[in-house]
Amino acid sequence: MIRWSISRTVLLSGALFGLLCSCSLPVNAATFVNPIVKNGQDPWLIYHEGYYYYCGSSGNASSMWIFVSKARRLQGIGAVPAVRVWTPPSGTAYSKEIWAPELHYLDGKWYIYFAADDGNNANHRMYVLEGNTQDPQSSYTFKGQLKPTTDYWAIDGTVLTLGGQKFFLWSGHSTAYPSSAPNVQNLYIAQMSSPLTIVGDRYLLSEPRHDWESERDRSRSWSINEGPEVLTKGDRIHIIYSANGAWTEDYCLGQLTYSSGDVLKQGSWTKKATPVFSKTASIFGPGHASFVKSPDGAEDWIVYHSKISREPGWPRQVSAQKFTWEANGDPVFGSPVALGIPIQEPSDTTQIVTTTGASTRSGTSSVTSTTVLSTLTTQQSTSSLSEGVFMIVAVVLVVSSAVSLTVYRRRHKRNEKR
């Protein structure tokens, strides 16, 4: 015999209604999923005064330019407007094929370092722009080539500051641009007298020696070290670089660590024998990374590109994830997080966005599209959860009410017979 009472139905209904209400409450922190930029490569990010700035290049074979995007949230760099800050004049040695621009704040000014050529890849060299204001999204002035005594092919330049001295790092060839295999890219370093000038010649920092640094699946052989980026922890200085062919699924990250002695000497650096960040079953060719902090400075994040498919080719996307550290100051990147997996945004992001007014160039207060996008994502996730729970609650309430009503009617009929 079924024993049920209206009081039990009320209690059950109240409990389920409480569950529904608790699931409807907003979460404390937003989440996002990768990729954060669906079509992008060589991501360079810097966090400055409450904003993430994303510097990149865009265009086509006939016209290219450099842009800077600005977002409160790390995951919003691909959702905000890309402001064009510099377009090269036509017909120069640096008018085409602008690769991997980087935005740096040095000695109180903004600088953008980039590789470019005249349409012939063999002529790629490194160049620098100087900002005209304190706004990284404002205009820039072309200042010239960063030119060592040995002036060969050069790409992927960045700056290392050590003991008050600046050094320039990049990827290049040991000789003039090779016309046939083997094609080898090394990492080089040179001293700088200012953010605009290299002093003297270049010095070899790293050359590809391990199997994982080389691509030999095609008719030509490539051994590649490129995309050097500086990463520090306390007094530990690392250079995280990209290895293998960027068009392959085996593109990955390697690590150099400064030990002691002359920073210009290869022997002062130790190379790890294995990659520190590499492909998974679903993420192909992760590489060319940059590194940023969370708004509160408590977390470290890696931003990198990966191939959209396993097949050889250039379509890529940009992703981000948190990483940690070993006790000795070595980074622990783990494995690339699969696309579509929720990732909690950098710590303190929500507080920064909600308590700090975002101002436009006209001076009026506004909410960036990044904030709107992330808020909508959070609300949609909460709404979907609430809708699912509501359906379950509704079904249970209907069933329990029907059972209770049936039992009540049976008992009422029995009482009438008595």
Catalytic site positions: 42, 226
**Which DSSP category does 187 fall into?**
E
3-state SS assignment for residue 100? strand
- Neighbouring-strand partners of residue 387: none
**What torsion do the CA atoms of 348, 349, 352, 358 make, to the nearest 10 degrees?**
170
Q: Which helix (H) or strand (E) holds 371?
A: helix 369-417
For 253, list phi and psi in degrees, rounded to 5. Answer: -115, 135
- Neighbouring-strand partners of residue 231: 238
Q: How many CB atoms sit inside 10 A of residue 333's CB?
A: 21
**What torsion do the CA atoms of 128, 131, 41, 273 make, to the nearest 10 degrees?**
60
**Which DSSP category does 266 fall into?**
G
Region for residue 334 given its phi and psi (left: phi exceeds 0; alpha: psi -120 to 50; beta: otherwise): left
Which whole-number Å values give the CA distances from 161 to 104, 141, 309, in the listed order?
11, 23, 37
CB 188 within 8 A of CB 204: yes
d(CA 248, CA 224) in angstroms, rounded, equals 12
Q: Which helix (H) or strand (E) holds 353?
A: helix 349-355
